C-alpha cells in the first residue's frame, strides 16, 4: 500500500509560528500518538471530553514575541502591537497578550469588558466598530479607552460627550485606503466599498470638521486592509499612504502622532499556504513608514499594528471524536464528528481549508482513505473537510484539526442547541481550563415562557 507521510514531520519554525501548520510544541510520543504542550491529547480528551479546543501557550508567546522583537529591530520610533481580540476573546487571552506588552482592540462592550477583566491597561485598549451604541461609546469614554472614529455618527456623539463633560478626548480615525487584497471577499475591508471607515476623499472635510470641535483631539490614524493576506505590497503601500495623510492633516492643524496599520498577516492552514514571516511583515511596514517619514522630514509616529489571526490561530487545535461513517459507493465516504459548524463556522462561511490528522496515528496516511468530514448539525453544508486523506480510522478515534485558534471559539454559536466545547491551555505538560464547557442546561438560561403559557399547560 502506498503511504504518504504527514505534514507533521515538517520542520517547525519556532521564530514565526504563522509559517507552521502545527503548534510549535507538537510532538509524537513513543506510543506514536500526538501530544501538544507536553500533554497527551488522548488523555486530555479522556479527562475533558470532546470536542475540545486546545491552546498552546508556547506558540502564543512566540507569536507575540516575534512581533515585539521585529518592531524593536526594524522600527526606531515608539511602537505598540495591539491584539485584535475578535480573533479569540477571553479573559485568559487578554491577560496573556497584556503580559507580553501588547495592547488590545475591541469592537463591543463585551470585548472591552473582557479586556479590562483580563488586566489590559485602559490606555492600551482601542475601541473599533462601524455602529457603536451610545452605551458602548459612553463605556469607552468613562473607562479612558480611545475610540477609533469610524463615521460621522461616532464623531457627533463624541463631540457631544466631550462638550457636555467639558473634557478633551483623544481620538483616532479609520479610513479606507482603497487597497485591494487577494483574499476572500467577505473579509476584504480596505477597498472603497467597505462598510468600515471614512472614504479617503472625505478626509479633508473630516479634518476641517474635527478642527472646529472644541474638545476632540485627533491623535491617530487607522486602516485595516483585510485578513489572511500573503502579499507584502499592500502593507508597503499602506504605510506610504498613511504618512501622506499625516502630512495632509497638518494643514488643518492636526499633529497625528499614532499610525495604526491594522492586522491581516496570513497563516499556514495547509501545505499550499506560504505566508511571509512575522518579521518580514513588520520589516516591510516599518521600512515603508520610515522611508516616507524621512522623505517628508516628518517625526516618526508611534507605529501600531493589530494582528489577530497570526497571534492565536496556529496556537489552537480542535479535537473531535469520530462517530458515524456513511459510504456512498463510487461517490464519497462521509465521516461524521461530534462538532462542526457551531464550533468552527469558517468552512461553511468562507469555504476555508484546514489540515487535520488522527491523534493516534498522525503518520501513515493512506491515500485510499479519502473522507468528507461532516459536522453533526442539521445542515448539509456542515462539512469541515470536503476531502481529506487520513490513516486507517474507526468510530471513536480522535481527529485533530490544526490552526483553529482564531475565529473559531470567537465565532462559535449554539446552532441546534449544541453547547460550546471547553477550551484548555497547555504548557510544559500541564493543562488548565480557560473556558468551561457549556451544558445543554446552560442554553436554557435565557429562555422565558410567558406566564399565560405556563397556566395553559
Ligand atoms: C480593524 C481590524 N483590525 C485587526 C483585525 C485582525 O486581522 P487579522 O486577524 O487578519 O490579523 C481585523 C480583522 O478583521 C480588523 O477588522
pLDDT in tens, 327-350: 999 999 999 999 999 999 999 999
Q: 64, 181, 305, 378: which is the annotated catalytic residue?
A: 378
Q: Closest Cα partner for 240 from 284, 289, 173, 299?
A: 289
pLDDT number for residue 29: 85
Best mutation site among 224, 228, 273 for ligand 1 pocket (most ligand atoms within 8 Å of CB): 224
Based on the domain organization, do 201 and 163 belong to the same domain?
Answer: yes
> What predicted TM-score, i.e. pTM, was given to this entire model?
0.96
Give a yes or no: residue 452 inside a domain.
Answer: no
- Write the residue with the smallest CA distance to atom 1 of ligand 1: 224
97 with 203, same domain: the answer is yes
**Residue nearest to ligand 1 atom 16, measured at CA:** 224
Return d(Cα 163, Cα 215) in angstroms, integer.
Answer: 7
Task: Judge if 210 and 87 occupy the same domain.
Answer: yes
Grid coordinates representing 306 are 493589530
Other Cβ atoms less than 10 A from the Cβ of 69: the count is 14
Question: 264, 289, 312 — which closes off a domain?
Answer: 312
Neighbour-count burial for 75-104, b at 16+ CB within 10 Å, e otherwise:
bebebbbbbbbbbbbbbbbbebbbebebbb
| Statement to judge: residues 116 and 13 lie in one domain | no
Say yes or no: 69 and 118 in one domain: yes
Same domain, 303 and 396: no
Ligand 1 centroid to residue 308 C-alpha, Å: 6
Q: Flag whether pLDDT at 390 surpasses 50.
A: yes
From 284, 312, 340, give the residue that closes a domain: 312
Give the model confidence (pLDDT) of 249-260 as tens digits. 999 999 999 999
Asked, for residue 164, whether it belongs to a domain, the answer is yes
CA of 86 to the centre of ligand 1 (A): 8
105, 223: one domain: yes
Mode of pairing for the β-strands spanning 103-106 and 125-127: parallel
Give the chain's mean pLDDT.
94
What's 412's domain CATH number? 2.40.37.10
pLDDT at 180: 72
Q: Tell me: do 294 and 336 sit in the same domain.
A: no
> For position 457, what pLDDT does the model report?
61
Question: Ligand 1 pocket, 310 CB below 6 A?
Answer: yes
pLDDT in tens, 413-423: 999 999 999 99
Write down the pLDDT at residue 285: 98
Cα 211 to ligand 1 centroid, rounded to whole Å = 29
Predicted local distance difference test score (pLDDT) of residue 77: 97
| CA distance linking residue 227 with residue 230, whole number of Å | 9
In a domain, 170, yes or no: yes
> Does one domain contain both 276 and 392?
no
pLDDT per residue as tens digits for the range 205-244: 999 999 999 999 999 999 999 999 999 999 999 999 999 9
* pLDDT tens, residue by residue, 2-31: 456 677 777 899 989 999 999 999 999 888
Ligand 1 pocket, residue 309 CB under 6 Å: yes
In a domain, 154, yes or no: yes
Q: In this structure, is residue 83 part of a structural domain? A: yes
Residue range(s) defining the domain that contains residue 160: 58-312
Tell whether 454 is covered by a domain.
Answer: no
Residue 114 CA to residue 139 CA, distance in Å, equals 13
| pLDDT of 88 above 50 | yes
Residues 282, 345, single domain; the answer is no
The answer to whether residue 455 is domain-embedded is no
CA of 222 to the centre of ligand 1 (A): 12
Contact 94, 119 (CB under 8 A): yes
Tell whether 449 is covered by a domain.
no
What is the domain count for the chain? 2
Give, for ligand 1, the residue of 102, 129, 226, 227 to mutate: max count of ligand atoms closer than 8 Å to Cβ: 227
137-189 pLDDT, tens digit per residue, is 999 999 999 999 999 999 999 999 999 999 999 999 999 998 877 655 444 45
Closest C-alpha to ligand 1, atom 14: 227
**pLDDT on residue 185:** 42
Residues 66 and 48 in one domain: no
pLDDT at 191: 59
Whether residues 223 and 264 share a domain: the answer is yes
Indicate whether residue 128 lines ligand 1 (CB < 6 A): yes
The question of whether 378 is a catalytic residue gets the answer yes
For residue 90 and ligand 1, the question of a CB distance below 6 A is answered with no
Residue 270: which region, alpha, beta or left (left: phi > 0; alpha: psi -120 to 50)? beta
Q: List, in sequence order, every residue forming a beta bridge with 302; answer none if it has no partner.
A: 258
Amino acid at each position: 500500500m502506498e503511504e504518504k507521510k504527514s505534514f507533521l514531520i515538517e520542520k517547525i519554525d519556532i521564530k514565526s509560528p504563522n509559517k507552521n501548520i502545527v503548534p510549535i510544541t507538537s510532538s509524537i510520543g513513543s506510543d506514536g500518538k500526538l501530544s501538544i504542550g507536553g500533554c497527551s491529547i488522548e488523555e486530555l480528551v479522556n479527562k475533558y471530553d470532546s470536542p475540545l479546543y486546545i491552546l498552546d501557550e508556547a506558540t502564543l508567546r512566540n507569536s507575540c514575541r516575534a512581533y515585539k522583537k521585529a518592531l524593536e529591530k526594524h522600527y526606531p520610533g515608539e511602537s505598540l502591537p495591539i491584539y485584535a481580540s475578535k480573533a479569540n476573546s477571553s479573559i485568559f487571552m487578554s491577560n496573556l497578550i497584556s503580559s507580553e506588552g501588547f495592547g488590545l482592540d475591541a469592537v463591543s462592550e463585551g470585548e472591552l469588558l473582557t479586556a479590562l477583566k483580563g488586566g489590559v491597561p485602559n490606555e492600551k485598549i482601542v475601541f473599533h466598530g462601524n455602529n457603536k451604541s451610545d452605551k458602548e461609546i459612553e463605556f469607552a469614554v468613562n473607562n479612558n479607552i480611545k475610540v477609533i472614529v469610524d463615521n460621522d455618527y461616532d464623531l457627533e456623539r463624541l463631540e457631544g460627550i466631550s462638550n457636555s463633560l467639558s473634557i478633551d478626548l483623544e481620538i483616532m480615525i479609520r479610513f479606507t485606503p482603497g487597497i485591494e487584497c487577494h483574499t476572500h471577499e467577505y473579509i476584504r475591508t480596505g477597498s472603497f466599498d467597505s462598510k468600515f471607515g471614512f472614504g479617503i476623499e472625505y478626509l479633508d472635510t473630516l479634518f476641517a470638521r474635527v478642527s472646529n470641535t472644541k474638545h476632540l483631539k485627533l491623535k491617530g490614524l487607522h486602516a485595516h486592509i483585510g485578513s489572511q493576506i500573503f502579499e507584502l505590497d499592500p502593507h508597503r503601500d499602506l504605510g506610504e499612504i498613511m504618512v501622506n495623510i499625516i502630512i495632509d492633516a497638518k494643514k488643518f492643524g492636526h499633529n497625528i502622532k499614532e499610525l495604526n496599520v491594522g492586522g491581516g498577516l496570513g497563516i499556514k492552514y495547509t501545505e499550499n499556504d506560504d505566508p511571509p514571516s512575522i518579521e518580514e511583515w513588520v520589516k516591510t511596514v516599518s521600512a515603508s513608514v520610515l522611508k516616507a517619514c524621512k522623505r517628508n522630514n516628518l517625526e516618526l509616529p508611534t507605529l501600531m499594528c493589530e494582528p489577530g489571526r497570526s497571534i492565536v490561530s496556529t496556537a489552537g487545535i480542535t479535537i473531535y471524536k469520530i462517530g458515524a461513517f456513511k459510504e456512498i459507493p463510487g461517490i464519497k465516504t462521509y465521516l461524521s464528528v461530534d462538532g462542526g459548524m457551531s464550533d468552527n463556522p469558517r468552512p461553511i462561511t468562507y469555504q476555508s481549508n484546514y489540515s487535520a490528522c488522527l491523534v493516534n496515528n498522525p503518520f501513515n496516511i493512506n491515500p485510499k482513505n479519502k473522507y468528507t468530514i461532516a459536522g453533526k448539525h442539521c445542515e448539509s453544508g456542515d462539512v469541515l473537510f470536503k476531502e481529506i486523506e487520513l490513516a486507517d480510522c474507526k468510530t471513536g478515534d480522535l481527529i485533530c484539526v490544526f490552526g483553529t485558534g482564531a475565529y473559531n471559539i470567537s465565532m462559535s454559536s449554539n446552532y441546534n442547541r449544541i453547547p460550546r466545547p471547553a477550551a484548555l491551555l497547555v504548557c510544559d505538560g500541564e493543562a488548565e481550563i480557560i473556558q468551561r464547557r457549556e451544558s445543554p442546561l446552560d442554553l436554557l438560561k435565557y429562555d422565558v415562557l410567558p406566564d399565560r403559557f405556563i397556566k395553559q399547560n
